[in-house]
Structure 1
Amino acid sequence: MSSSNSGERYLSRYLVPNQLPAPQSIKSLQLYRKGTDNNPPIIELGSPQKLILAFDELSDLSGQFRITFTHHNQNWENSNIPQDWYLEGINEIILGGGQKNELSEPNYFHYKTEFPNDQVKFKISGNYMLHVSDFNSGVRLFSLPFFVTENEGEIVSWVETVYNAGQRYNAIDQPFSEFVYPDFIEFPQFDLSFYFVQNRFWGDFKQSENFDFSEQDRSQFHLSRDNAFPANYDFMGLNLNSLSVDGNQIIDYQPGQTPPLVVLREDILNFSSDPVRGWTSNFGNPKNATDSRYANVRFRFDDGGQFSENEGVYLVGDFNQWLLSESNKLKYNEDSGYWETSSLIKQGTYTYKYAVKEGELGINDLILSDTITRQNQEYVSFVYFQDPDYRYQRLLQVNVFRTSD
């Protein structure tokens, strides 16, 4: 999935269409429902639930930012409805001040805000995007998707795993849902649409092409086998809570460098991946204490001689919005014999993968995975209703569910 801004294309399973990824100066992005930072960015319309936005800016000076909101349809196109239909109050949150770090360069300020609040309230359900701009210049820095649901009707969801059915004989997951619709829906077969997302990769949403409206008050929907999700999608874990040699993952730590250098044990194709169980976030879990440090983390990958410079191997993870960018492209080091790249990452815990490009818009992040074995996955099902009066997509239900052992 790609997003575009000023003609530039970005490749990431996380980015939805027209989403702008964060620049190199913005780090440790988080957007989650208040309560725990592992919550997905989903709130119920009219409820007291709030979303938390947090991020760091690498800077010696405190900044000021403007946050605005847009409403979108189920495919992330602008819904083209007036602002006062979906927003109560002023479409603006001013965020400034920030907490300065106490230890170690690079210097950064940590920013955090929550919404809806007294200034901004959402009047309708649907897909939303927040946009963060520099207050002084007006330049848009990044955007993030979130969801407001009505919690109308009832939904149950489950996964059926089919083994040896994938392109590489891997297992595939077919998510299923049953939706009992509320009384106001008169023509469900025309006005409802259904979507699934795997592991919160919002940009890799898939519309259900199979549905059954034979029962009067409910419908069932699911993905076909040809459109199913890989059941062997796995992640590698990165533990940077303590910046010290641990003999396991961190094999070298050089605090005298600015920023400090962390060298990781090499990842070996089809051998060393340790799939992360209980994965629950697109953003990782960066530490928010003011004495938390950033380190220049060097990743090293042994591909067994399978790839060339022309093909391009990329490091993608929740510390870089799962973005295939030139800054995270691995280069072959003849001295070490590994593909290597470095990324500036804050103390905390994260997940990552290696990926290759397929054509101009394709991402293959399974070709370098260790396993064809089924792994636990998280899924989200969405039910949208085309409002017959106002002609926008209402988000009636969102259901988060997981596969199990």
Structure 2
Amino acid sequence: MRIFFQHFICLLFLQNLIAQVQVEVNPPENIKSIVFKGPTEDQFPVIKIGEPLYLEFDDILANEQDYYYKIVHCDYDWTPSSLLKSQFLDGVDNQRITDYENSYSTLQSYSNYQLTIPNDNVRLKVSGNYLLEVYNSYNEIQFSRRFVVYKDVVTVGTEIKRSRDFNFINEKQVVQFSINSGSTRLTNPKKEVK
């Protein structure tokens, strides 16, 4: 029994060490109309480094609550990366969202919050997968959204062909990618290219 208990404690400890995949957290009932986009209207922003990222949402409690944002850098598989904040952010996050206004002459009262990144407090330094988290004043996560930042380092070409499997010749396709690395040196492409 004692050995079983030790193994159980060890498993609990190891479970916390393994990185968790970052998933989007859905907002509570009082947060509505979340718009999260880059320069295009896509709700999953894929932006070039330096391009703006926009977040806008409404709080129907309309009590001018304080909301804060944090930025998490993730690896290719959406687990938190080992980078320090100073390695992927220029400035500091965990700042209050100060751009908000209350509704007037509306049937439903609400407060509209807006955030743009980069801003005076923070800008992104490196490409990769990111998670933007919004917290209330009690440090409780309200919602989160994923986004991707890229840097033009290589060019990627694609070619779509018919399937070679006759059972699926009219249903499936084969996609071939070609990567022109230019001056970027790829030592082990199978591990370096995701």
> TM-score normalised to the size of structure 2?
0.75
1:43 to 47, 65, 68: 47
Query: For the residues of structure 2 that align with 1:158 and 1:116, how far apart are their CA atoms?
Result: 35
- The CA deviation at 1:74 is 0.5
- The CA deviation at 1:172 is 4.1
Partner of 1:133: 135
Q: Would you say the 8 A contact 1:92–1:120 is kept in 2? A: no
Counterparts of residues 56-205 of structure 1 (less than 5 Å): 56-96=58-98, 97-100=100-103, 102-105=105-108, 107-134=109-136, 136-160=137-161, 165=168, 171-172=171-172, 174-194=174-194
1:175–1:42: structure 2 CA closer, same or farther, 3 Å change rule? same
Greater share of strand = 1
Secondary structure at the counterpart of residue 98 of structure 1: strand
- The CA deviation at 1:17 is 3.8
Secondary structure at the counterpart of residue 191 of structure 1: helix
Query: For the residues of structure 1 that align with 2:171 and 2:42, how far apart are their CA atoms?
Result: 27
Query: For the residues of structure 2 that align with 1:112 and 1:173, how far apart are their CA atoms?
Result: 42
> TM-score normalised to the size of structure 1?
0.38
- The CA deviation at 1:125 is 1.0
Cα deviation digits, residues 236-261 of structure 1 (max 9, x gap): xxxxxxxxxxxxxxxxxxxxxxxxxx
Q: Would you say the 8 A contact 1:101–1:109 is kept in 2? A: no
Query: For the residues of structure 2 that align with 1:154 and 1:114, how far apart are their CA atoms?
Result: 28
Greater share of helix = 2
Q: Work out which structure has the larger RCO, using CA pairs closer than 8 Å and 6 or more positions apart in sequence.
A: 2
Cα deviation digits, residues 70-97 of structure 1 (max 9, x gap): 1000100011221111111112332143
1:25–1:171: structure 2 CA closer, same or farther, 3 Å change rule? farther
Cα deviation digits, residues 25-72 of structure 1 (max 9, x gap): 2221121113x4347512222x3x101111111213222210110100
One-letter code aligned to 1:43: I
Secondary structure at the counterpart of residue 74 of structure 1: coil
Aligned pair count reads 171
Q: Would you say the 8 A contact 2:44–2:146 is kept in 1? A: no
Q: Which runs of 5+ in 2 are unaligned?
A: 1-20
Say what the alpha-carbon RMSD is for the aligned residues.
2.7
Secondary structure at the counterpart of residue 147 of structure 1: strand
Q: Would you say the 8 A contact 1:66–1:95 is kept in 2? A: yes
Counterparts of residues 234-249 of structure 1 (less than 5 Å): none
Query: For the residues of structure 1 that align with 2:128 and 2:54, how far apart are their CA atoms?
Result: 18
Secondary structure at the counterpart of residue 80 of structure 2: coil
Partner of 1:338: none
Query: For the residues of structure 1 that align with 2:62 and 2:23, how far apart are their CA atoms?
Result: 31
Cα deviation digits, residues 344-395 of structure 1 (max 9, x gap): xxxxxxxxxxxxxxxxxxxxxxxxxxxxxxxxxxxxxxxxxxxxxxxxxxxx
Counterparts of residues 290-305 of structure 1 (less than 5 Å): none
Query: For the residues of structure 1 that align with 2:161 and 2:190, how far apart are their CA atoms?
Result: 27
Does 2:38 correspond to 1:33? Answer: yes
Secondary structure at the counterpart of residue 144 of structure 1: strand
Query: For the residues of structure 1 that align with 2:73 and 2:148, how far apart are their CA atoms?
Result: 10
Cα deviation digits, residues 129-187 of structure 1 (max 9, x gap): 111000x2111111111111111111123545669849xxx944554422111333241
One-letter code aligned to 2:122: V
Secondary structure at the counterpart of residue 85 of structure 1: helix
1:155–1:100: structure 2 CA closer, same or farther, 3 Å change rule? same
- The CA deviation at 1:116 is 1.0
Q: Would you say the 8 A contact 1:72–1:129 is kept in 2? A: yes
Query: For the residues of structure 2 that align with 1:175 and 1:153, how far apart are their CA atoms?
Result: 18
One-letter code aligned to 2:150: T
Q: Which runs of 5+ in 1 are unaligned?
A: 1-15, 195-405
